[in-house]
């Protein structure tokens, strides 16, 4: 299957369990692997025959910048469901990283990765 990759989308959001995380925006980074059939786009060289990754990135940014989630797992699944709802998307793998997690050690990021596929039938 063909894959469209989006790497390093950075968006501010208010996700986390701690009270401070729920009111003060912090940086999140998202990577996506979107499986879709890209044969028509490759043949036509026309944007209308493919998944517009600019639109996908904007949708993901809306989710991350939108309503609060306590867990990265819930945020990642919401992103996956949003992308999977786009026409032509067969499956998606989403990685979400909190770039400055509030832990008492020097940790660059904490994250989760989820994969979802369109149900057949």
- Domains in the chain, CATH or no CATH each: 2-92 (3.30.1130.10)
User: pTM value?
Assistant: 0.93
Contact between 30 and 21 (Cβ < 8 Å)? no
**Sole residue written with tokens 């469209």:** 4
Q: How many CB atoms lie within 10 A of CB 9?
A: 18
Q: What pLDDT tens digit does each residue of the chain (121 aa) get?
A: 899 999 999 999 999 998 888 889 999 999 999 999 999 999 999 999 999 999 999 999 999 999 999 999 999 999 999 999 999 999 999 999 999 898 999 999 999 999 999 875 4
pLDDT of residue 119: 74
What ranges in 1-121 are assigned the alpha helix state H? 39-44, 53-65, 72-84
Long-range contacts of 101-105 (CB under 8 A, 24+ apart): 102/16, 102/18, 102/20, 102/21
CA 46 to mean position of chain CA atoms:
25
**Sole residue written with tokens 């369109």:** 118
Tell me the catalytic residues: 98
Rounded-to-integer distance, Cα 99 and Cα 94, Å: 16
């Amino acid at each position: 299957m063909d894959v469209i990759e989006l790497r390093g989308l950075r968006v501010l959001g208010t996700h986390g369990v701690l009270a401070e995380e729920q009111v003060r925006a912090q940086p999140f980074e998202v990577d996506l692997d979107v499986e879709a059939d890209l044969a028509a786009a490759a043949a036509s060289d026309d944007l209308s025959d493919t998944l517009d990754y600019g639109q996908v990135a904007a949708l993901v940014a809306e989710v991350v910048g939108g309503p609060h989630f306590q867990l990265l797992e819930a945020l990642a699944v919401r992103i996956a469901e949003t992308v999977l709802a786009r026409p032509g998307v067969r499956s998606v793998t989403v990685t979400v990283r909190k770039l400055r997690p509030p832990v008492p050690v020097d940790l660059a990021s904490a994250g989760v990765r989820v994969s979802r596929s369109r149900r057949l039938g």
